[in-house]
Structure 1
Amino acid sequence: MLDYVATPDEISALVSATQWEPASIVSVVFSAKEAIFKCLFPEVGRYFDFHDATIDSLDTDQGRFSARLLVSVTPRLVAGTRLDGRFECSGDWVHTAMMLEP
């Protein structure tokens, strides 16, 4: 599942930054990228891949993630666009959310 969701470098950087186990990072990254897709889909109107965005940072104290689009998906949502969201880990569950600025 790792290769489907993220690059090894992406996961490695987040593991180093957070000191979390790789499996926990993969779960949060998967959920964060799903939140990105679900948030952007109404504007994008088509499928885009997990590898079209990268999770740049996880603030484990504040429950925040920062991401960046790696490809342009609309004229407004171009490669390099920064995206921010929230996450919470509760037992075996990961909850993520994000909102696109108008």
Structure 2
Amino acid sequence: MARPRTAPRTVEHPDLSQVSLQQALEALVDPVRRTVVAQLVGAGQDLSCGTFVAPVSLSTLTHHFNVLREAGVIRQYYVGTTKMNALRTDEMDTRFPGLLSAVLAAEAAEGA
């Protein structure tokens, strides 16, 4: 008997028109989440969850990915069994013009 096919794994993402400025700001206020966003920008490409450097456990990092995804900051998708992360830069800039760049510039200035 043939094994039943399974549906590809998918991740739900919010329509950014339904994300409030408050929700976006709350997602970006946490230093671990800003580090995730900064690493995505610095890489210039999508990154798997396991490639991020963060001062928290993997389960806590998963929570941070979920908060960023639910606020529309990142898009997550699977390549095989690997969960990838991508910034929703264009969509965020349309919904909240300049927010991501301002937060990242402030983060860089604070770190210098």
* TM-score normalised by L of structure 2: 0.29
The structure whose Rg is larger is: 2
Instruction: Give the number of the structure whose residues are more often strand, by fraction.
Output: 1
Instruction: Give the number of the structure whose residues are more often helix, by fraction.
Output: 2
* TM-score normalised by L of structure 1: 0.32
